[in-house]
Structure 1
Amino acid sequence: MACFALLWRCWYGELVQVYYWAVLNGFHLRDTVRKCFVAGKKENVRKLPIMANSPSFVAWIFIFKTGCSLCFPAENNNVINNSSSSLTAVPSNLPSQTEILDLSQNSITEIHIQDFASLHWLRSLNLSINRINNVANASFRSNQNLECLDLSKNELSSIECQFLYNVTSLKYLDISYNRFHSLTLGKAFRFLKNLEYLGLGSREAINLQKNDLKEISRKQFQEVSIGLKHLSEYDPGTLLVLRTTKLHIVLPSAGTSDLLRKVLHDAFISSDTLKLSNINCSQTCNDYVNGFKALEKFSRISNLLLENLTLSWQDLMSITRSIWEMTIKHINIFNTELYEIKSSVVQYSDIVLETLIFRGLRVTTFYFSQPVIYDFFAKLKVENLTISDSDLIFMTCPEQGNHYKFIDFTDNSITSDFFFQDCTSLNLLETFILQQNKLLEFYKVTTMTRYMKSLKNLDVSQNQLTLDEKANCLWTNSLKKLNLSSNRLTDLVFTCLPSNLEVLDMEKNDISIVPKGINNLEMMKELYLGSNKLIRLPECSNFRNLEILFVEENLYQEPSTNFLQTCQRLTRLNAASNPYTCTCHLRDFSRMKENTQIELVGWPESYQCTYPENLRGTLLKDFHVSEVMCNTAVLLVIILGSMIVLAVVMALTCHFLDLPWYLRMICQWTQMKRRTMKTDSHQLSENLVYHAFVSYSQHDSGWVKEQMLPYLEKRENPFRICLHERHFIPGKGIIENIINCIEKSYKSIFVLSPNFVQSEWCHYELYFAQHQVLSEQSDNLILIVLEPIPQYMIPSKYYKLKSLMAKKTYLEWPKDKSKQRLFWANLQAAIGIKLTASTEKTLV
């Protein structure tokens, strides 16, 4: 089945990457497409430079470009896959915008004119592996954009293909493995001016004559594939009609030596790149061996691919020996089954082969001598060797004088116990790939390289490497690129790395932190740490020349504060898919795309907030926080400025509204109320008769009688006030009356004014009242400042008054009527106590 069977699963950008993988392992176009399908995911383009060192890169790059441009549009949003859907006819409800349509592996028997009439944008159509026996002539007249058509493995019997008259844009056509009785191409092929790939062949016995291919004799193809497995007669020179860069031939079965020789002769001189399939030597291999030997002097090909081989080790050596003497530079051998591996004398050629690739090498014999295989490769003269997907478990050190520059042992079973240890003969080796093996001990990988003086690229990814703390690492000094991805390495690996590294890939390991103070990695330019367990971004102070950093899919929540400052040379950063905590610390990082020239891979879709919960799923580009919240200096300036403004406002308010006076009076009222609430009236002396005794100067009697007494004695619950005019007992001495009134009063109120300090009797009253306070440890003095009393006006004998006014809170009589209500409330709170019933009776 051709590439269309899988093209809907792959897109252009992905195939370019998979192609490098395929080149590295010797795949051709169709196998590359299949690999794309199997992989089902993108491989990072950054890893391609090492893979591009594969020797078959030059030989196959043009083939892959052709395949990609034909079968895989850059945009494939309109892809329909109905493969393996048990269809017996083309569905009638296909979207008109369909560009790629896969109907392979169904039971469709016929294609009608109206089946694809509405699909004007159709570019790629896969109809392989069906039961199609007829295609109507005008089936594709509405599909002027059709570039790729796969009709392989159907039941077509006529190769006239009249339906091709309407598809002049066609670039890729595969009609192989049908039931054609001949390969005489119809005139419709003459109009396919853009055709670059053509697949021919039949499941029936056919004859191949020169005139069969004359309709395409003037066209230049990129690749032609012809299935000749059932060839019964061949006209020499027929294949020479073809003008193609690559020729793929499915060879006739063994036993037809003359026919096979003719086909091989024309094949080896018809193109630069030749692929031969179906070499089965289970019966005899003489026909193939003799056929190759006869062509040693006639071959013009430089790239040879042999696929699907079944032969003995000796036959493989014979074919290889014959090929070696030709002008071939690149040999690729795929899917080989070996049996009867026996020791034999091998004559090695002095010619140095550029590329030798073995992929899918299988030994069907259970018991065989492994050194036979190892010795063969140890003595080879080849620059680039690939043995992949072949269950290789060991390889001996090559002999001195080898020419190895590139070795690829991908997808085998090699362990690191003794592999290439103390091997001193690989002085020319530049690239060594040990991907997807069973390597365990990291330090043995390092010692393996110490004699490889030219080694620049080493790939030991997808193994099970671990590192012991006591390991002694001995690297070659020439190593520039190291791939350690998909292993089990921890932070210790940074203590065991070569000093001259420029590219380091350690994705998919168990690294949680990059230690600080790594002084031997200053040459590092590219560092890949994706899919690890990093809890913080590495600082570039450890890698002063770092230009590319990949740290996607880790565990860090916010970058370090000095990350951007230390990474001055960084040009490309991939920090996608991490659990970001969107706080102030992330503000500078979220603005990096705007403020720097760093290319941020995956921005903005793959950069989202994970914490806090209310911001989960928010893109970092949409996360904003104010400068005030994140800048401490600005915040302090704003707070201090606000406090200063508030203080100024409060000062002005106090000045204009006399706020301090109100606050002081409220405070006094609160304190008096608290003291009153704590006072138990039952604890008062039984001889307590008055709520308050008022002491005042005779000059202030007007205020006392006109202002204070009406308020205190004419309220709902009147206070009983003791005045000397009303309650002094005639006949008793003044001092005795003063003492008697003070003792019978709960409070002693002193109305202070300049007149008060001039009164001798007021002085006595104050003295005795203060004496009572001190003796009973109570707080029964109430000072009312009716008028301000300057300190200089208070006589020296009133030193106690000065002391009281300095220590005791007093009430000021406000001139402003709006403030007087608060004054009376404070006075009431200061006096406020209910006298007992017995006390009232005493008064009566």
Structure 2
Amino acid sequence: MAEIKRSGTNNFPCICIYIITFWNNIHISAEHEFTANYSKSLLHAVPKKLATETVVLDLSHNTISKLHTSDFRYLTKLQVLILSYNNISQLDFSVFQYNEDLEHLDLSHNNLRTLSCHPVGRLRYLDLSYNNYTAMTVCPEFSRMVQLERLGLSARRIQKSDFTVLAHLQLDSLFLGLEDLSEYSPGHLLMFNVKSLRIVLPTNTEFPVVLDLNLTDTESLELSNIQGKQVNVIKEFLSKLNKNGKLLNLTLNNIEVSWKNITVMFQYVWQSSIEYFTVHDVTILEIIPQPLSYTNTSLKALTIKDTKLKYMIFDQHAVYQTFADMNIKALTISNSQMVYMVCPSNPSSFTYLCFSNNTLSNTGFEGCNNLKLLETLILQKNQFKELDKVSSMTSHMKSLKYLDLSQNLLQYKDNQNGCYWGGNLAQLNLSFNRLSDLVFSCLPINIQVLDLQNNDIASVSEEMVELTSLKELNLASNRLTDLPGCGRFSSLRWLNVEMNSIFSQASKFLQSCENIKKLKGGHNPFTCSCELRQFINLRKNDFVELVDWPESYMCEYPDDLRGLLLKDFHVSEIVCNTNLLIAVVLITTVVLAVTVSLLCIWFDIPWYLKMLWQWSQVKHRGWKNNTEVLVNNVEFHAFISYSECDCDWVKNVLIPNLEKEDGSIRICQHERNFVAGKSIVENIIDCIEKSYKSIFVLSPNFVQSEWCHYELYFAHHKLFSENADNLILILLESIPAYIIPAKYHQLKAVMAKRTYLEWPKEKSKQGLFWANLRASIHVKLSGNEEMRVLW
């Protein structure tokens, strides 16, 4: 399924407008589910099994030769049927008797020779032109088609009664293709009740068909194929027109004429009721300037398009002056090889001038002061090169509002003179030129709509004149790499930057373009990065409407995201916001540190770590020294020094946990191992000498015991004298530094330099405490009795 391709009668100008209007009226669904397009499908017959809901059926450009009632009987909702460019030779309108909704029927460009008429009551458009008729085919039944609005006919022979039926119809448009006319008697064209009439005149210039026209109700007339003697016929026809007629629009197509004759035609038109006069596809044989009287006229607009000159040598100034001095509102001379244009001799009434597709250059209208009423000037597709000269050309056009200079060769260089535009210029089209960034130094200050697409602009200069009135700016198809800021366009509402080289989105756009409502920025090589999020958020936050979103907005970089629609590109805020990322990392670090600290405090992890460190150090020393047998006089694994106030803990906890039943560890205790008769000092020294280690149970009570201090002194003396590591400190209770007497400097020194074991109150920690303590005294004594550490 696809939309209709109307390639039938190119000779009926109203058909395109009609189809578009008709298309809108029948409300075909967006999916075209009621449209069947079989154009150019090599069909020999109408296809079967078409959808019964079909509203529009296009069968043009095939080889269908016959139509049957069964072909369309079931298509009860059919409204548009296009059968142009086939081989249909016979037709009975009764084949459409069941298609009561049929409104548009195109049978042009077939081989129809005979036609059997059957009224189709709702038919509004019927084209029977360019078939193989000899006579004009106008059925009596046509008079019953009261809704018929547009009709196309052609024939090689016209008889007197051919148009009798048409006189009773109220047609909007009638087309007569008479170029193959071979038989005609003057007076056979009767009056038509038609608003728009188009006639392709006979190639045989002997038939003055136009002179038989009675245009009482016709408002628009188009005559084509004006050659040879037909020129004189047209002049005679125009001479009969008067100001009281209803004819308002006249078009002459495909005309070959001398300048003298066309001037005569202009003069007749000037004196008629015609308001809009168009000459299209005209060949001028010779140009000899003729005077033209500009009397009061009804003419509002003259259009001359596609002019060919047989001879290029003529007085161009005189010819152009003829046009410049016309007393009409609008003048169009397009594609006519104009080299330059002159200024009107007197204050002109022109409000609209179009000289597109010529070869005008910078000299056009130079110094012209007689175009003060001109509002629209179109100079596209010419040879203008210097923008400052063009601006000076318009400086005297005080009423100029719209200027089109597109598709020229315009440039503006820094060393050029300043630009002086008309003060009321509101719309300026400079697209498809050679302008660079410097163009922003040569713009009218009151401009509202500016088109600069397809130039060589790489950036918008921040030193440009402030354009406070600019509302629409088109910068499509340039060399922009960033979105421009709006610092100089405070009123900008619509911006087009599609098809540039924009890969990143400048923050200055987001900051300064708060008033933009529509942004057309598709087809750019976007880099999908953090900066792009701000661009995408423009639409999400209803900040601006992105035209052609989302299909025109894709990632180009990085390579792994190429082709991804921007609407599908997502990246988290934390990755893109550096400050937020730092804050989150800091907060996370602080929270983690606090959590770890709380857990350490809660589970007393530092204590465990300290104890594990001590155990590892003990094991390391054991492996390093590799002590298997001590000297012979060592009998005990450890001598215990403690205060009598702590004896309960030593006797009931410490000793039982070290001296197991297996006897693997022997402890020296003063109560049971001091020898009677020896002094206390001698016993202390003797026990320390016979013990592998000396264990001191430290507590505030220990500090107050003078004997404990002696024991510590002698053990410390052994440490230095034998270079041994024989001291083990157990901190039973915390000892504040201030309660240690100054004379006990030995105790302070030992506590400051030696690592000690803390007695844990929690039972869960006591296992590690005993493991550390046993590991520190793990050794084989001289009696080869193995001491095992119990874990």
- TM-score, reference length from structure 1: 0.77
The residue aligned with 2:214 is 266
The residue aligned with 2:154 is 201
Q: C-alpha displacement at 1:275, in angstroms?
A: 0.8
- Find the residue that maps to 2:163 and give its secondary structure: helix
Mapped partners of 1:312, 1:330: distance in 2:
22
The residue aligned with 2:269 is 323
**Which residue identity does 2:268 align to in structure 1?**
S
Are the counterparts in 1 of residues 94 and 117 from structure 2 also a CA contact under 8 Å?
Answer: no
Q: Spell out, residue by residue over 1:502-551, the C-alpha distance to the aligned partner (whole angstroms, 9 max, x if none).
A: 11223344444444465521111222334445444444443222333344
User: Aligned-residue CA RMSD in angstroms?
Assistant: 4.8
Q: C-alpha displacement at 1:696, in angstroms?
A: 1.6
Q: C-alpha displacement at 1:143, in angstroms?
A: 3.0
Q: 1:176 aligns with which of 129, 134, 138?
A: 129
Q: C-alpha displacement at 1:436, in angstroms?
A: 3.4
**Which residue identity does 2:256 align to in structure 1?**
T
Q: Spell out, residue by residue over 1:547-588, the C-alpha distance to the aligned partner (whole angstroms, 9 max, x if none).
A: 333444555567666867755654444455566677776667
The residue aligned with 2:21 is 69
The residue aligned with 1:102 is 58
Mapped partners of 1:491, 1:768: distance in 2:
95
**Which residue identity does 2:603 align to in structure 1?**
L
Q: Spell out, residue by residue over 1:324-350, the C-alpha distance to the aligned partner (whole angstroms, 9 max, x if none).
A: 3322221111122233x3333333433
**Which residue identity does 1:302 align to in structure 2?**
L
The total of aligned residue pairs comes to: 773
The structure with the greater share of residues assigned to helix is: 1
The residue aligned with 1:494 is 440
| Identical-pair percentage | 39
Are the counterparts in 2 of residues 159 and 185 from structure 1 also a CA contact under 8 Å?
Answer: no
Q: 1:112 aligns with which of 65, 68, 93?
A: 68
**Which residue identity does 1:520 align to in structure 2?**
E
Are the counterparts in 2 of residues 274 and 303 from structure 1 also a CA contact under 8 Å?
Answer: yes
The residue aligned with 2:399 is 454
1:5–1:652 Cα change, 3 Å: closer
- Greater CA drift, 487-496 or 704-713: 704-713
Does residue 228 of structure 1 match 2:211? Answer: no
- Greater CA drift, 597-606 or 748-757: 597-606
Q: 2:610 aligns with which of 667, 676, 688?
A: 667
Q: C-alpha displacement at 1:361, in angstroms?
A: 1.6
1:385–1:804 Cα change, 3 Å: farther
**Which residue identity does 2:471 align to in structure 1?**
K
- Find the residue that maps to 2:222 and give its secondary structure: strand
1:764–1:361 Cα change, 3 Å: farther
The residue aligned with 1:55 is none
Q: C-alpha displacement at 1:132, in angstroms?
A: 1.3
Q: C-alpha displacement at 1:752, in angstroms?
A: 0.8
1:284–1:136 Cα change, 3 Å: closer
1:411–1:828 Cα change, 3 Å: farther
Mapped partners of 1:676, 1:335: distance in 2:
111
Mapped partners of 1:464, 1:767: distance in 2:
107
Q: 1:697 aligns with which of 631, 639, 642?
A: 642
Over alpha carbons, which structure has the higher Rg? 2
Q: C-alpha displacement at 1:360, in angstroms?
A: 1.8
The residue aligned with 2:453 is 507
Are the counterparts in 2 of residues 107 and 130 from structure 1 also a CA contact under 8 Å?
Answer: yes
Mapped partners of 1:746, 1:528: distance in 2:
96
1:635–1:146 Cα change, 3 Å: farther
The residue aligned with 1:190 is 143
Mapped partners of 1:422, 1:775: distance in 2:
119
Mapped partners of 1:734, 1:201: distance in 2:
149
Stretches of structure 2 that go unaligned for 5 or more consecutive residues are: none
Are the counterparts in 2 of residues 147 and 172 from structure 1 also a CA contact under 8 Å?
Answer: yes
Mapped partners of 1:143, 1:95: distance in 2:
14
Are the counterparts in 1 of residues 12 and 152 from structure 2 also a CA contact under 8 Å?
Answer: no
1:289–1:820 Cα change, 3 Å: same
- Greater CA drift, 575-584 or 305-314: 575-584
Q: 1:524 aligns with which of 470, 481, 501?
A: 470
1:482–1:31 Cα change, 3 Å: farther
- Find the residue that maps to 2:153 and give its secondary structure: strand
Q: 1:389 aligns with which of 315, 332, 335?
A: 335
Q: 1:430 aligns with which of 375, 379, 382?
A: 375
1:235–1:284 Cα change, 3 Å: closer
**Which residue identity does 2:381 align to in structure 1?**
Q
Mapped partners of 1:772, 1:306: distance in 2:
133
**Which residue identity does 2:406 align to in structure 1?**
S
- Greater CA drift, 748-757 or 507-516: 507-516
**Which residue identity does 1:664 align to in structure 2?**
W
The residue aligned with 2:201 is 251
Q: C-alpha displacement at 1:402, in angstroms?
A: 3.3
- Greater CA drift, 380-389 or 531-540: 531-540
Are the counterparts in 1 of residues 659 and 665 from structure 2 also a CA contact under 8 Å?
Answer: yes
Does residue 757 of structure 1 match 2:703? Answer: yes
Q: C-alpha displacement at 1:501, in angstroms?
A: 0.7
Mapped partners of 2:190, 2:618: distance in 1:
122
Q: 1:30 aligns with which of 13, 22, 41?
A: 13
1:548-567 aligned at under 5 Å gives the runs: 548-554=494-500, 556=502
1:715–1:270 Cα change, 3 Å: farther
**Which residue identity does 1:278 align to in structure 2?**
N
Does residue 819 of structure 1 match 2:765? Answer: yes
Does residue 154 of structure 1 match 2:104? Answer: no
Mapped partners of 1:515, 1:399: distance in 2:
41
Are the counterparts in 1 of residues 84 and 110 from structure 2 also a CA contact under 8 Å?
Answer: yes
Mapped partners of 2:356, 2:277: distance in 1:
18
Does residue 332 of structure 1 match 2:332? Answer: no
Are the counterparts in 2 of residues 4 and 71 from structure 1 also a CA contact under 8 Å?
Answer: no
Are the counterparts in 1 of residues 260 and 290 from structure 2 also a CA contact under 8 Å?
Answer: no
1:369–1:720 Cα change, 3 Å: farther
1:639–1:71 Cα change, 3 Å: closer
1:299-698 aligned at under 5 Å gives the runs: 299-339=245-285, 341-351=286-296, 353-365=299-311, 371=317, 373-414=319-360, 416-471=361-416, 472-516=418-462, 520-554=466-500, 556=502, 569-576=515-522, 596=542, 601-602=547-548, 617=564, 620=567, 658-660=602-604, 662-670=605-613, 673=616, 677=620, 681-682=624-625, 694-697=639-642
The residue aligned with 2:223 is 276
**Which residue identity does 1:170 align to in structure 2?**
L
1:715–1:486 Cα change, 3 Å: farther
